[in-house]
Amino acid sequence: MATQDLARSEASMHSLRRYGFDDLRDKTVLVTGASTGIGAAVARAFASCGSVVAVHHNQSVEAAQTLVAEITQAGGRAFTEAADLARPGAGAPLVRRVAERAGGLDILVNNAGHLVKRKPASETDDDDYRRIIDLNLTSTFECCRSARPFLKSSGAGVIINTTSIAARMGGGPGSGIYAAAKAGVSTLTRALARELAPEGIRVNAVSPGFIRTPLHDQLTSLEAMNTAEQMIPLRRIGTPEDCAGTYLFLASGLLSSYITGQIIEVNGGLLMP
């Protein structure tokens, strides 16, 4: 991360700590896909507010353990849970383990997702298609379904899904199936917001634009990132920390108790619905 971006991230986190989000203190939060990128920034942000954070990971064991160590050394509370959410059926056991370990669940952040590989939709084989859909959409559905009774018992349960600017724009080259999966996440968010509202569960989503994450580092060329940067009105690629405050806002009953079924765009002005 560039020095300027790091300074901005540190200033952002200081601001979050100063503001407090006191109603998030002692809440149990499960963040899927939390070992790196946006998920890690969100986990740190919730921990800084006094939440108990379950840091989900799949292959990035060391990164998840490092994040938990960082949080606990700073006086926060966090623990790791592993699951391959690209495997159908893995979401429910993950949610149950977290709820049993923490004594309940108040906030579910469905952040796990990946482009997997860039390939035209017409050239995507069945295995890659299923993996993209299962990791991005099926896992979100399974975790939401499994979390419902715990969130209802919470009395003020919250679900925050991570969708993408690709859901509205169709995705960049070779990301059509990913864009379709994220569009499904956006629609599922609205559907569940209506369905779960009578139980006091709010459901919203955050839609990041171009954010400097391992996904883009692996699958997006420097040339494409530079081109995107010139198209963004704020003239910079976003950082994971740029997204974190929106998750806290949507989780906080003090700040967003009358907001449900919404997709909040965090993209530097690249898309203005």
**One-letter amino acid for residue 81 of the chain:** E
- Asked whether the beta carbons of 136 and 178 are under 8 A apart, the reply is yes
Can you give the pLDDT at residue 1? 46
Phi, psi of 28 (to 5 degrees): -90, 125
CA atoms within 13 A on the CB side of 46: 31
Paired with 160 in beta bridges are 109, 204
Can you give the pLDDT at residue 4? 56
Highest-confidence range of 7-11, 21-25, 136-140, by mean pLDDT? Answer: 136-140
- Asked whether the beta carbons of 261 and 190 are under 8 A apart, the reply is yes
How long is the chain?
273
Query: What does the pLDDT average to over 241-251?
Result: 97
Which two tokens mark 74? 């700073």
Give the CATH H-level superfamily of domain 26-266: NAD(P)-binding Rossmann-like Domain (3.40.50.720)
Residue boundaries of the structural domains of the chain: 26-266
178 is catalytic: yes
Q: Pick the catalytic residue: 19, 129, 178, 258?
A: 178
Task: Give the separation between CA 57 and CA 82, rounded to whole angstroms.
Answer: 5
- Asked if the model's pLDDT at residue 141 lies above 50, the reply is yes
**pLDDT, tens digit (0-9, with 9 covering 90-100), for 150-205:** 999 999 999 999 999 999 999 888 889 999 999 999 999 999 999 999 999 999 99
Can you give the pLDDT at residue 234? 94
CB-count burial class (<10 Å; 0-12, 13-18, 19+) for 249 = middle
CA 73 to chain CA centroid, nearest Å = 24
Name the one residue in this structure whose structure tokens are 């979390």: 147
- Asked if the model's pLDDT at residue 127 lies above 60, the reply is yes
DSSP letter for each residue of the chain: --HHHHHHHHHHHHHHHHH--GGGTT-EEEETT-SSHHHHHHHHHHHHTT-EEEEEESS-HHHHHHHHHHHHHTT-EEEEEE--TTSTT-HHHHHHHHHHHHT--SEEEE----------GGG--HHHHHHHHIIIIIHHHHHHHHHHHHHHHHSS-EEEEE--THHHH--STT-HHHHHHHHHHHHHHHHHHHHHGGGT-EEEEEEE-SB--HHHHHHS-HHHHHHHHHHSTT-S-B-HHHHHHHHHHHH-HHHHTT--S-EEEESTTS---
Q: What percent of the chain has pLDDT over 90?
A: 79
User: In this predicted model, which residue has the larger pLDDT, 10 or 57?
Assistant: 57
Quote the mean pLDDT of the chain: 91
- Asked whether the beta carbons of 51 and 80 are under 8 A apart, the reply is no
Task: Give the separation between CA 138 and CA 144, rounded to whole angstroms.
Answer: 10
- Asked whether the beta carbons of 139 and 90 are under 8 A apart, the reply is yes
